[in-house]
């Protein structure tokens, strides 16, 4: 992997590939430890195709599973007949809701989603039954042979109608309402702008669709091999459905073929485990791409209404907002997304007064869930559009208007929480403003590729307009509102080799590489291995919002330091000094006065040392009835300047460049960090211009990658990282901040701002449709 990318691939841009950045190449000077661009240990196997994902696993006597899914978004189930499916040759088991021995519903925050629909279907593609057979084709045919009689009901698909419609669930249609009130609600500004914005349903569209293998255990339990990003919660939820104690269920984390904050769904694991225990055989499932689109959670579609008040100089006085988010059929973790949306509704700006109402509602649309920057991305697109509107109304440069209002350390969020972490928002904005703009394309046939739409779909070059737009945004790190964030890690040293045991799933964020770097830095040992993850290890929590960099990385660091003390204490005692007077560097142990000098390997001799440690950040609290509270552990910020070319006749858009300045705390792995930023920007560009899972009447209309328009290598813009601000957060291990979420949040807003600058159109809906960017011939 090179530092300056010459080529890109669709997979690389989606999951974190090569990146072009204006960052000095000092990274290659360090061979190991923190600050080095250490190559992931599993990179060769992944590049050569030998790395085992769940879809590659096999077991003796393997059976195959398939799921029967509902063809309607809402219907009453009159009857379920499995006799025909059970009678087919090669079919060994069929399970429905009647076969669940324990809890029939699951959910991380709200346990409202049934494993199998019972009395009523609430979304298109909801599981009804699962089949185990001796061949995957037989399993699919048997699943199709399950006969379900439905009474089709009118589907509730408009979130705005949820308040007055009959309840879709015993808990009602409103999952959560947050009425944030901050300052004086009666204040008005000399200037007021308002707008309405819509954010579409983005799908994680992972490179590898969902797959899993369940193996029955002699004690009556089951082991499940899958690409989980939160194995202990998956285990506990599955065990409750199986009616088993957690110790009889084991989750083994396989390779994760793409994760964007998702992979937190046990909807496959529970049916698979039931089939394995019913048949006494290993059972595997590998869903089709269509099933993947129907089955996993998506980004929350959101409707936002905003009103900004400011004085004549552009200083913000008050922000009013109404935010309506669609949870789909079930609540699960949707309250988390609403909390982020309401808390960050004003953006990274100083706002003395705020009135924000946020609602999360149930509909018969597909369920929504965790996806990078959930909640924050939707409101960022809206509050940045409002800043552009306000700048136009006042006749002020949009970047200058933002600068007059930026947040800084010590300021208050509208939730009343003081920003105690570094918040270099003004520095980030200045960096992207001062970066040179990309040159205009020269005339010539080869540059037809540079026109929006490419040579096959481009219009006339004279119809192309260039636009430059800015955006600022923020995300929170770790869990929020009282979430107990804790991770446990063990470091073992035997001879010249160290091993890390930590149940932190590496979903592509590079935790295993970071863990190796931490131990190398602390103990001076080059050969460090990270053990595979399973639930026999203590919990490390979910892989999201930079948790594992902070919490699991902190646990590894503490364990490694404990081992370091064990290693140095005998030497310190021998020479009559404290361990603080000994240092480890480049595999050598030396004393402050040079009297002691030996290698780490020699000091270890035949010793085996180990230590276990936990990391638990400071607690947070839930938002109260007025949206106030210290709900977040830490915040990360970014500024972006997007340059786009728009064919104003056809409405096609090409993102020429995105300049990024990001608040990273500390660079732990330069190459990996830049790759994560580029991947996040590319995902944000997809949300801005093309990615939208169309749902009509509750029916998913194109559950495939042919028509779900993911950005390809030709769509990925040049990403120029103009500045990485390393102002360390003193409460975070190593001082580092989350890197992946904030680019996803800010990029859509920056692209939309640039399209507005090029066309003069409002661009108030994401993704931006061609008709919204076209202004007709000039």
What residues does each domain of the chain span?
55-154+209-256+263-294, 302-481+621-773, 486-615
What was the pLDDT predicted at 27?
Answer: 44
Position 446 confidence tier, pLDDT thresholds 50, 70, 90 = low
Topology of the domain comprising 55-154+209-256+263-294:
Aldehyde Oxidoreductase; domain 3 (3.90.1170)
Would you state the pLDDT for residue 272? 95
C-beta neighbour count of 710 within 10 angstroms:
17
* d(C-alpha 424, C-alpha 430), whole Å: 10
- Residue 114 or residue 7, greater confidence: 114
| Burial environment of residue 315 by CB neighbours within 10 A (0 to 12, 13 to 18, 19 or more) | middle
Angle at which helix 511-523 crosses helix 553-574, to 10 degrees, equals: 10
Q: At what angle do helices 376-394 and 334-343 cross, to 10 degrees?
A: 20
Residue 79's nearest CA partner among 125, 116, 118 is 118
Cα within 13 Å of Cα(275), Cβ side: 32
| DSSP E strands, 89-232 | 91-95, 105-106, 113-114, 120-121, 127-133, 147-152, 174-182, 191-199, 211-216, 222-226
* Distance of alpha carbon 459 from alpha carbon 767, whole angstroms: 21
The pLDDT tens digits for 620-669 are 999 999 999 999 999 999 999 999 999 999 999 999 999 999 999 999 88
- Structure token digits, residue 728: 């360390």
Q: How confident is the model at residue 778 (pLDDT cuts 50, 70, 90)?
A: very low
| Cβ within 8 Å of residue 765, ≥6 positions away | 197, 198, 199, 200, 772
Q: In percent, how much of the chain has pLDDT > 90?
A: 65
Q: 277 in helix, strand or coil?
A: helix
| CATH code that applies to domain 302-481+621-773 | 3.30.365.10
3-class state of residue 79 by DSSP: strand
**Tokens (6 digits) for 575:** 């020479």
Asked if the model's pLDDT at residue 21 lies above 90, the reply is no
Which of 233-247, 444-458, 513-527, 635-649 has the weakest average pLDDT? Answer: 444-458
**What's residue 17's pLDDT?**
36
Max Cα–Cα distance, the chain, nearest Å: 85
Contact 538, 497 (CB under 8 A): no
Task: With a cut of 50, say whether residue 777 has pLDDT above it.
Answer: no
Residue 124 has which token pair?
Answer: 């298109």
Mean pLDDT throughout 592-605? Answer: 80
Whether pLDDT at 382 is above 90: yes
At residue 25 the predicted structure's pLDDT band, cuts being 50, 70 and 90, is: very low
Question: Which run of H or of E encompasses 212?
Answer: strand 211-216
Triad 366, 372, 375: Cα angle to 5°: 70
Residue 224 and residue 754: Cα distance in Å, rounded? 47
What does the pLDDT read at residue 7?
29
User: What are the beta bridge partners of residue 489?
Assistant: 502, 613
State the pLDDT at residue 22: 42
* pLDDT reading at 212 higher than 70: yes
Q: Among 116, 7, 23, 98, which residue's Cα sits nearest to residue 672?
A: 23
Average of per-residue pLDDT values in the chain = 89
Q: What is the C-alpha to C-alpha distance for residues 148 and 77, in angstroms, rounded to an integer?
A: 7
CB 615 within 8 A of CB 538: no
Using CA of residue 377, residue 382, residue 383, residue 389, what is the dihedral sign? positive
SS3 190: coil
CATH topology of 302-481+621-773 equal to that of 486-615? yes
CATH architecture of residue range(s) 486-615? 2-Layer Sandwich (3.30)
Q: What is the pTM for the complete model shown?
A: 0.92
């Amino acid at each position: 992997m090179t530092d300056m990318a010459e080529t890109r691939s669709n997979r690389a841009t989606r999951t974190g590939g090569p990146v072009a950045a204006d960052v000095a190449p000092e990274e290659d000077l360090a061979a190991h430890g923190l600050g080095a661009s250490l190559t992931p240990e599993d990179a060769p196997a992944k590049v050569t195709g030998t790395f085992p994902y769940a879809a590659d696993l096999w077991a003796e006597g393997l059976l195959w599973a398939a799921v029967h899914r509902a063809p309607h978004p809402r219907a009453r189930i009159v009857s379920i007949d499995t006799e025909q499916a059970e009678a087919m040759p090669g079919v060994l088991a069929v399970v429905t809701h009647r076969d669940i021995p324990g809890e029939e519903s699951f959910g991380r925050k709200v346990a409202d989603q049934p494993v199998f629909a019972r009395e009523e279907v609430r979304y298109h593609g909801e599981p009804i039954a699962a089949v185990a057979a001796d061949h995957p084709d037989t399993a699919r045919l048997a699943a199709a042979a399950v006969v379900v009689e439905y009474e089709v009901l009118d589907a509730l698909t408009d979130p705005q109608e949820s308040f007055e419609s009959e309840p879709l669930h015993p808990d009602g249609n409103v999952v959560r309402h947050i009425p944030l009130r901050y300052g004086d609600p009666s204040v008005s500004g000399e200037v007021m702008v308002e707008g309405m914005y819509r954010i579409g349903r983005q799908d994680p569209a992972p490179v590898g669709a969902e797959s899993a293998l369940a193996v029955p255990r002699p004690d009556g339990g089951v082991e499940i091999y899958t690409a989980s990003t939160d194995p202990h919660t998956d285990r506990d939820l599955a065990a409750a459905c199986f009616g088993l104690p957690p110790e009889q269920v084991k989750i083994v984390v396989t390779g994760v073929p793409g994760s964007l904050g998702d992979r937190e769904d046990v909807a496959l694991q529970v049916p698979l485990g039931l089939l394995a225990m019913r048949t006494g055989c290993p059972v595997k499932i590998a869903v089709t791409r269509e099933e993947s689109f129907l089955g996993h959670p998506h980004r929350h579609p959101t409707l936002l209404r905003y009103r900004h008040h400011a004085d004549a100089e552009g200083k913000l006085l008050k922000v009013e907002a109404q935010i309506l988010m669609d949870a789909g059929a079930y609540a699960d973790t949707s309250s988390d997304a609403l909390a982020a949306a309401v808390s960050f509704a004003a953006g990274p700006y100083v706002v003395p007064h705020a009135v924000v109402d946020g609602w999360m509602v149930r509909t018969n649309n597909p369920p929504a869930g965790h996806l990078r920057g959930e909640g924050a991305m939707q409101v960022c697109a809206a509050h940045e559009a409002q800043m552009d509107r306000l700048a136009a109304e006042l006749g002020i440069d949009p970047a200058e208007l933002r600068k007059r209002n930026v947040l800084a350390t010590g300021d208050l969020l509208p939730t009343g929480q003081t920003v105690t972490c570094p918040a270099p928002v003004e520095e980030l904005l200045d960096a992207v403003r001062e970066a040179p703009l990309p040159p205009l394309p020269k005339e010539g046939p080869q540059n037809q590729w540079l026109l929006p739409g490419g040579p096959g779909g481009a219009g006339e070059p004279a119809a192309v307009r260039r636009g430059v737009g800015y955006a600022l945004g923020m995300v929170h790190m770790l869990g929020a509102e009282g979430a107990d964030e804790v991770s446990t890690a063990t470091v073992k040293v035997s001879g010249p080799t160290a091993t890390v045991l930590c149940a932190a799933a590496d979903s592509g964020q590079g935790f295993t590489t970071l863990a190796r770097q931490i131990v190398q830095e602390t103990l001076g040992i080059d050969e460090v291995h990270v053990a595979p993850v399973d639930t026999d290890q203590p919990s490390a929590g979910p892989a999201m919002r930079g948790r594992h960099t902070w919490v699991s990385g902190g646990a590894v660091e503490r364990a490694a330091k404990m081992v370091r003390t064990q290693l140095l204490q005998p030497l310190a005692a021998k020479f009559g000094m404290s361990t603080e007077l000994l240092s480890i560097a480049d595999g050598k142990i030396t004393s402050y006065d040079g009297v002691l000098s030996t290698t780490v390997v020699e000091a270890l001799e035949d010793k085996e040392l180990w230590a276990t440690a936990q990391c638990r950040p400071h607690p947070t609290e839930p938002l109260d009835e007025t949206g106030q509270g210290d709900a977040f552990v830490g915040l990360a910020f970014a500024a972006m300047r997007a340059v786009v070319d728009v064919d104003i006749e056809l409405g096609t858009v090409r993102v020429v460049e995105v300049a990024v300045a990001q608040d990273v705390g500390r660079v732990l792995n330069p190459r990996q960090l830049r790759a994560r930023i580029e991947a996040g920007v590319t995902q944000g560009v997809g949300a801005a211009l093309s990615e939208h899972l169309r749902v009509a009447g509750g029916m998913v209309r194109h559950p495939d990658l042919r028509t779900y328009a993911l950005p390809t290598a030709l769509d990925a813009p040049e990403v120029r990282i103009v500045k990485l601000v390393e102002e360390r957060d003193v409460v975070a291990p190593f001082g580092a901040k989350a890197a992946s979420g904030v680019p996803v949040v800010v990029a859509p807003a920056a692209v939309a701002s640039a399209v507005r600058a090029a066309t003069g159109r409002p661009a108030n809906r994401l993704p931006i449709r061609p008709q919204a960017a076209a202004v007709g011939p000039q």
